[in-house]
Amino acid sequence: MIYRDIIKITTKTDGFHDLTKQVGEIVGKSGAKDGLCNIFLQGTTASLAINENDRMLIEDFKKTLTALIPDDHLYQHSENAPSHLRAAMLNQNLTIPISKGKLMLGKWQSVLLFEFDTQDREREIVVTVQGV
């Protein structure tokens, strides 16, 4: 069985969203008890990651990626090269197992979206459930 839904959100520069609840609801609607859930972000300047949703840690994520890929550096791609490069350090696609109709996330795991672009964006996150 394949079930699909798309999460649409408006992000702000340097923004952060926790998608765990929305993805879990899609898994619930799919009716799948056992299988896999694929989460795919249709963008090149934002990222998905599975990590702890702690406000302090989220700040550490942003600062660390800015330290590794600084703004005040000469890039060849115009405008938002650091946004692309930071996005590539994390992921645009995740696959999470499903058991008993729920995502098999660990105790501290959340599905996180980081916006790295220099302007507000409309983001679409494609959620595909394959299961039984």
Footprint on this chain of a copy of itself (rule: CB under 8 A): 2, 4, 34-36, 38, 40-44, 49-52, 54, 56-57, 59-61, 64, 68-69, 75-78, 81, 84-85, 87-97, 99, 104-109, 124, 126, 128, 130-132
Q: How far is the CB of 11 from a copy of itself (least distance, A)?
A: 14
Q: Which pair of tokens denotes residue 103?
A: 């995502």
Q: How far is the CB of 37 from a copy of itself (least distance, A)?
A: 10
Task: Pick the closer one to a copy of itself by CB: 21 or 107.
Answer: 107
Q: Got the DSSP string for 60-103?
A: HHHHHHHHHS-SSS--SSTTTHHHHHHHHHSBSEEEEEEETTEE
SS3 30: helix
Compute how many other C-beta atoms are within 10 angstroms of the C-beta atom of residue 91: 14
Q: How far is the CB of 43 from a copy of itself (least distance, A)?
A: 5
